[in-house]
Chains A and B, each alone.
Chain A
Amino acid sequence: MLILGFESSAKSASVALCDENGLISQYFQNSGLTHSRTLLPMAEDMLKNLGLTIGDIDLIAVSCGPGSFTGVRIGVSVVKGLAWACDKPVCGVSTLLAMAYNGVCAHEGSIICCVMDARREQFYNALFIMRDGIPVRLCEDRAIGADKLVEDIKNINKPIFIVGDGASLCYNTLNNFEFRTVLAPEPMRYQTAWGVCMAARREPQQSVHELLPVYLRLSQAERERQERIFGK
């Protein structure tokens, strides 16, 4: 089964093609250029180089959040357009679950702490444990402050492998405590479309109209509107 995966939830953008044996191709860019300009050309070029067309793909996967509102919106829109036009099933996976696959380079039984910088002194976070080379979820995706994260992991007596675009920020915070933390090496740190494809193999398929972004938090506009109506 050929899975075409898209990741654009934060600064980096990537597109990957995987089958049941693993990674076939991946384009990755961490340039800060807008995903609106770079994401689709990466997929177009990748398919061309592989001698494939979009019609050859069996499933289109995307990290549907949490993450940057703009980034998530672009990834989901691109995938909806592709899937709608060629009538393919889709799979929206949690950005945090997808990046947990970076934990394959950690030891069996390690805790994978996925963190994205959610701004406003919060992290998007979820915790996983590696079992037979697959991350198993320990908590739901959430937006939390550093103090809550410290509270949650202070009783865990296992090595904690930190991944995600917020990893170094989180590592610096946690380093003030006596945790057994390991910061994922740079090439294994960021969320990738490969992780999206891996996660999609174990998540339910959806129709194109079922696919929705997951923001976890209100957008700035929604927040300001609520503050106007209900007060802070």
Chain B
Amino acid sequence: MAVSYAPGLIGAVLVGVNFAKSAAFALGIPLIPVHHIKGHIAANYIAFPELEPPFLCLAISGGNTMLVDVRTYTEMKIIGETRDDAAGECFEKTARILGMPYPGGKHVDALAQKGDDQKYTLPHSLIEGSPYDMSFSGLKTAVVNLVHNAEQKGEALDRESLCASFCRAVSESLVPRTMALARELGYKKIAVAGGVAANSRIRKDFCTAAEKDGVTLYIPPLSLCGDNAAMIGCQGYYEYLAGNTAGSDLNAYANMEL
């Protein structure tokens, strides 16, 4: 019985953990705690059975944005991450200010298809002295200001182009950084994981960059990008092989190191 025990919304994680551990106890089977982000990464093993560590993975979701050196199935190290908002959070804020329903990532994606990605100039994330860390709060603020300014001046907003420019800004913050780190670590395999990996602009830019660098790219199908129990089961299998089981005193955590 594998269960996502951290990180996440604590009220939700508590329900899953307490159900799973009592069920495992009653069934007399092993209980396996799984880190949620490791689960996202493991979605790649389901989609690509030939994929084996080590490789570099960009994990991008509503709560996390990180570059992970996946050394074995269970041991990994964060090389770079966002200093503030996650990429997915930034997508949701943009969707919300444009009046789209939650979750809004796919609506932003759909609108972006019809827009001009060069129309609006949006800031790129840059952290002085930490080339692999990222920041998305500046981008979020820029979008909010742009929309408010247009409203105040009564100017029509080119929503399609704003979404396209926004997707480009996010992609350009993520893709070149990931490729540079793969070159530095000498990895010829790159995986992408998490809900934001469903974004078509990011997928397209990764494909182009990987081909140019001669790197094999792994991005799960859309059905495995968002939160799902299959990825937890998959990572649970590798955690079990590594002997990582828990007792009935397992707790849920809002935050947890990878």
Residues in chain A within 8 A of chain B (CB atoms):
34, 36-41, 44, 54, 69-70, 73-74, 77-82, 84-86, 219
Contacts and interface: CB of A to CB of B under 8 A. Distances in A.
Which 3 residue pairs across A and B have the least CB separation, nearest first? A81-B22, A85-B26, A77-B18
A37 B250 CA distance: 6
A44 B25 contact: yes
B203 to A, nearest CB: 33
A77 B25 contact: no
Contacts of B16: 77
A82 B1 CA distance: 13
Given A41-B247, A44-B248, A36 B18 contact: yes
A217 B17 CA distance: 24
A40 B251 contact: no
Given A37-B249, A40-B21, A80-B19, 17 more contacts: A36-B14, A40-B248, A41-B248, A41-B249, A70-B11, A73-B11, A73-B15, A74-B14, A74-B18, A77-B16, A77-B22, A78-B21, A78-B22, A81-B18, A81-B23, A82-B22, A84-B19
B252 interface: yes
A155 to B, nearest CB: 41
B14 A81 contact: no
Contacts of B247: 41
Interface of B: 10-11, 14-27, 247-252
Contacts of B17: 36, 77
Contacts of B26: 54, 81-82, 85-86
A34 B11 CA distance: 13
B11 A81 contact: no
Interface of A (DSSP majority class): helix
A65 B168 CA distance: 49
A85 B252 contact: no
5 contacts: A36-B14, A37-B251, A40-B18, A69-B11, A77-B16
* Centre residue among A44, A77, A81 by max chain B CB count within 10 A: A81
Contacts of A81: 18-26
Contacts of B14: 36, 70, 73-74, 77
Contacts of B23: 81-82, 84-85
A40 B3 CA distance: 16
A84 B27 CA distance: 10
A78 B18 contact: yes
A77 B248 contact: no
A81 B21 CA distance: 7
A77 B19 contact: yes
Contacts of A79: 22
Contacts of B10: 70
